[in-house]
A and B are shown apart, each in its own frame.
Chain A
Amino acid sequence: MPASVSSEWLNACSGCEISILNIGDALLDLIPSKLTLVHIPALVDSKYFGPLGDGSHVALPEATVGFLSGAIRNQEHKEVAEEMRRKAKILIALGTCATNGGIPAQANMWPNQEVFEKIYRKSVTTDPVETPKDVVPPYTDRVMAVDEVVKVDIYMPGCPPHPDLIADAILALLDGKTEWKLDERSVCDTCPVVREKKAAGGADIKRTLQSVTYNPEEPVSKMRCIMEQGFLCMGTVTKAGCAGKTGIPRCIQAYMPCEGCFGPIRKTANPLIDMVSALSSIGQNINSLQDRRAVLNRFCGAHGKLRPLPAPPKR
């Protein structure tokens, strides 16, 4: 009897759903013989208000496994998340937006009114108008991770999560397990570069306006650690897993620093404090890092990590 799967996307971009498709050929081993897709807006015509559009409230079908991607940005996302929680036995927060807020949680640096002011009243191509409010769902007071609204059973971070990890979790659940999680390791733990435990140059952090030093004819394991080369690399404070169960961290493969897309190593971690200590251990100065608050919380602005700063005192 196949297990039923329901999936919804909230303040999302659809990258996590495409990552599921990137499981590739193995998908057809799972669907339809082991999994039935009962609700997934990208692929299946299951509707909130019934097939004739006459229902009065958001209704989702029951499912063994429910996926939620995207964070919570408006009242409808909240409603859908709550309905998914009611109808799914096991709820998976899929992707870093769902687990930590993701990039759209950068909006938490402003009060909602300022977001609307820019979009609808301060755009060079838009004549100023009132913020739309007919039918469209109002914003929640901040962008929230899924677990700020409903209980989450399995956390699958990543922007996007690697298809091998998604497949791994699904197979574990089909095998009767009710838990699945990533190890609490850092990206550095999976990165093969050369480390000398000190910065190669001066104390100031370099912006990625120039390329890192690399030799494309040699393996990545011969490259000097990007952070030691003097660039800001989020590897030390970011959860491992981006290349799947094995493999070199994906951005490092392209000679770019890690940007932290799997979120913090553990729920209680504070990237700012951890990064200060990592940088000073190789002799680098955190104060030379510009746009620090946004950079260090790029993917984890929910859970109160990003909020509007109080206005500076008037003199």
Chain B
Amino acid sequence: MSTVINIQPVTRIEGHSRVAIHLDQDGNVADAKFHVTALRGFEKFTEGRLVEDMPRIVARICGICPWNHHLASAKATDKVFGVNIPPTAEKLRRLAQHLAWIPDKLLHFYFLAAPDLLMGLNSDPNIRNIVGIAIQNPDLAKRVVHMRHQGAHLLEKWLGKVIHPMAAVPGGFSKPLLEDQRVEFLGETREQLEFAKFTIKFAKENVFPKYMDEIKTLGVIKTGFIGTVRADGTHEIYDGKIRLMKPDGAYDDFSYDEYTDYLGEHVEPWSYAKMPYAKKWGAFSMDLDNPVGIYRSNALSRINVCDRMPGQDAQMELEEFRTNFGRPAQYTLLYHWARLIELVSNCEEAIKLLEDPEITGKEIRTPVKVRGGRGVGCVEAPRGTLIHDYTGDDNGLITNVNLIVGTTHNQAPINMSVKQAAKMLIQNGKYDQGTLNHIEAAVRAYDP
């Protein structure tokens, strides 16, 4: 008799979902699906809104990565109104984004992923969490809680709110950075870089070597990759070209306005979330042996598509990573490693901006005149490329919004990884809570 195992909620991720595993009468996996059970409808309820209100509204798409939606939206509104922002405003937006990424990465590694990696995938669920880590290693936990909060608090000291910000506006930025803040933040960001380097060293010495079997097998699928790069192919999170790479490493670079030529969205009747795919590669298929059109986003993807990292320490990390795993690397659990390379990179880039004397400039806003238009604004969020496509009428009211954002790019890959992991791990009806946690770990790699 067949059964369905319902893992819900999928825990230690951001989002609402259920993994449903269908066993046949022999206890083998006939099918496994990742059902996203949430739909808020931002693309609809933003219709009719003032264009300049969009950056504050769409921050609420996500409470972990609001800065990224806020910035993609501000960029889209710049384009709708046809304004160029002053150079200092761009530096301030970039600085805010890097400062927002740092605590996000620490959150993922220590609070969401580390319970599996440090306590063990099969450990007792009652201790397989940040509290269990705190009991086992109080000094590490204290440092982690402090550093994550310090990073978040920087943005709050500067701009009032770190969660659901408002400082990125059409035409630029609402508040400059003062010199005494610049000095203070530089000191704290240098501490963050030291902690980032400690974290990746800790992971490479104490964590990843223990999981090489899992890394080589768990949730492993073969896909393409998407990310943002500078004109010279360097890793980039604020502005550049979108690079869409095939599994064999060949790629196309395109500008934001061209995204509809490359990306389509497939829908399954059992998940509210859509499944973007690469239209030019053929008709969508999640078949594990012969996937078509499937690509991934988020850290591993960005590491794969970029030619190099912009900073010295991050570049050294990337070279070591590529020596071990090649390009593009497909092993799903390598997201955890890639995420830490990006953690180091974000600290380095924030420091560069804080060392730039122009960052305290006071020319930060170009005034805006209302006009009708369409604008596509994109940035990278930790979970993936954010595409905010807005059309406004002559009165400056939104008439159309299309969003392809972050984790949406990974919906098809997550489904495939879940199915692969379930089929591999559950045979003849044998499984326990640890087995199910292994399958969830395949999801967690992608998020956030």
Q: Which A residues lie at the B interface, using CB under 8 A? A: 9, 11-19, 21-22, 24-25, 27-28, 31-32, 37, 41-49, 51-55, 73-74, 76, 102-104, 106-107, 109-110, 114-115, 118-120, 123-127, 129-130, 132-137, 159-160, 207-211, 214, 216-217, 243, 250-256, 259, 261, 290-291, 294-295, 298
| Bound: A167/B78 CA distance, A | 39
Q: Which residues of A contact B66 (CB under 8 A)?
A: 13, 15
Query: Which residue in A16, A45, A253 is a CB contact (below 8 Å) of B159?
Result: A253
How many Å lie between the Cα of A115 and that of B42 in the bound state?
9
Contact call B166/A259, Cβ cutoff below 8 A: yes
Q: Which of B251-295 touch A at CB < 8 Å?
A: 259-260, 263-272, 274, 276
Q: A86 to B266: give the CA distance in the assembly, Å.
A: 39
A32-B135, A106-B45, A132-B269 known; A126-B6 Cβ under 8 A: no
Report how far A17 CA is from B111 CA in the complex, Å.
12
Q: How many residue pairs between the two chains, A and B, have CB atoms under 8 Å in the bound complex? A: 282
Pick from A49, A107, A129: contact of B45, CB under 8 Å: A107
Q: Which residues of B contact A15 (CB under 8 A)?
A: 60, 62-64, 66, 163-164
Assembly CA distance A130 to B268 (angstroms): 9
Least Cβ distance of B261 to chain A in Å? 10
A52 x B134 contact (CB < 8 A)? no
Q: A46-B125, A135-B270 are in contact. Are A24 and B145 (CB under 8 A)?
A: yes
Q: Which residues of the partner chain A approach B53 to less than 8 Å between Cβ atoms?
A: 208, 291, 295
Bound-state CA distance A278–B45 (Å) is: 27
A126 proximity list for chain B (CB < 8 A): 264-265, 267, 274
A49 near B265: Cβ-Cβ < 8 Å: no
Given A52-B436, A136-B35: A104 touches B267 (CB 8 Å cut-off): no
The 9 closest A-B pairs by CB, nearest first: A15-B63, A253-B160, A250-B160, A24-B149, A53-B5, A45-B125, A51-B433, A209-B368, A13-B63
Interface string of B45-56 (1 = CB under 8 A from A): 111111011001
Task: Tell me, yes or no, whether B352 is within 8 Å of chain A by CB.
Answer: no
Q: How long is the Cα–Cα vector from A104 to B41 in the complex, in angstroms?
A: 8
Given known contacts A14-B64, A136-B37, A217-B178, A49 and B11 CB-to-CB distance under 8 angstroms: no
Q: Contact at B49–A24, with CB atoms within 8 Å?
A: no
Q: Does B394 contact A (CB under 8 A)?
A: no
Q: Chain A's nearest CB lies how many Å from the CB of B393?
A: 11
20 CB contacts below 8 A, A to B, read: A16-B63, A18-B163, A21-B107, A25-B146, A27-B145, A32-B134, A44-B11, A45-B437, A47-B11, A51-B436, A104-B41, A106-B46, A124-B402, A125-B264, A127-B266, A136-B35, A207-B396, A254-B161, A256-B167, A291-B49
A127/B11 in contact, CB under 8 A: no
New A-B contacts (16) at CB < 8 Å, excluding given A53-B5, A136-B39, A209-B81: A13-B60, A14-B64, A15-B164, A18-B163, A25-B149, A28-B141, A42-B14, A49-B8, A125-B259, A130-B269, A133-B269, A160-B163, A243-B160, A256-B160, A290-B397, A291-B50
B389 at the interface (CB under 8 A from A): yes
Residues of B within 8 A of A (CB): 3, 5-14, 16, 18, 20-21, 33, 35-50, 52-53, 56-57, 60-64, 66, 81, 107, 111-112, 115, 125, 128-131, 134-135, 138, 141-142, 145-146, 148-149, 152-153, 156, 159-167, 169-171, 174-176, 178, 259-260, 263-272, 274, 276, 362, 365, 367-370, 389, 395-397, 402, 404, 431-433, 436-437
Tell me the minimal C-beta distance from B172 to chain A in angstroms: 8
Question: A53, B269: Cβ atoms under 8 Å?
Answer: no
Chain A CB within 10 A, most for which of B111, B128, B149, B368: B149
Inter-subunit contact B404/A125 (CB<8 Å): yes
B21→A53 contact, CB < 8 A: yes
> Are A45 and B52 in contact, with the CB atoms below 8 A?
no
Complex contact A134–B269 (CB within 8 A): yes
Given the interface pairs A37-B131, A53-B6, the reply to whether A123 lies near B152 with Cβ below 8 Å is no
| Alpha-carbon separation in the docked complex, A160 to B176 (Å) | 24
Residues of chain B within 8 A of A46, CB atoms compared: 11, 125
Cα distance A253–B155 when bound, in Å?
Answer: 12
User: Do A159 and B164 touch across chains, with their CB atoms under 8 A apart?
Assistant: yes
Q: For the complex, give the distance between the alpha carbons of A17 and B10 in Å.
A: 16
Please give, as numbers and ranges, the residues of chain A lying within 8 Å of B14 by CB-CB distance. 14, 42
B61 A22 Cβ-Cβ under 8 A: no
Distance of B167 from chain A, by nearest CB (Å)? 5
B395 touches A118 (CB 8 A): no
The answer to whether B145 touches A25, judged by C-beta atoms less than 8 angstroms apart, is yes
Taking a contact as CB atoms under 8 Å apart, the answer to whether B167 and A254 are in contact is: yes
CB pair A209 B170 closer than 8 Å: yes
CB distance from A107 to the nearest CB of B (A): 4
A73 to B39, CA, bound (A): 8
A9 CB contacts on chain B under 8 angstroms = 16
Contact assessment for A42 and B11 in the assembled complex, using a CB-CB cutoff below 8 Å: yes
The reply to whether B130 and A43 form a contact with Cβ atoms under 8 Å apart is yes
Contact B40 A43 (CB under 8 A): no
Q: How many angstroms between the C-alpha atoms of A106 and B44 in the bound complex?
A: 9
Closest B residue to A139 using CB positions: B39
Evaluate contact between B263 and A125: CB separation under 8 angstroms.
Answer: yes
Complex CA–CA separation, A73 to B66 (angstroms) = 21
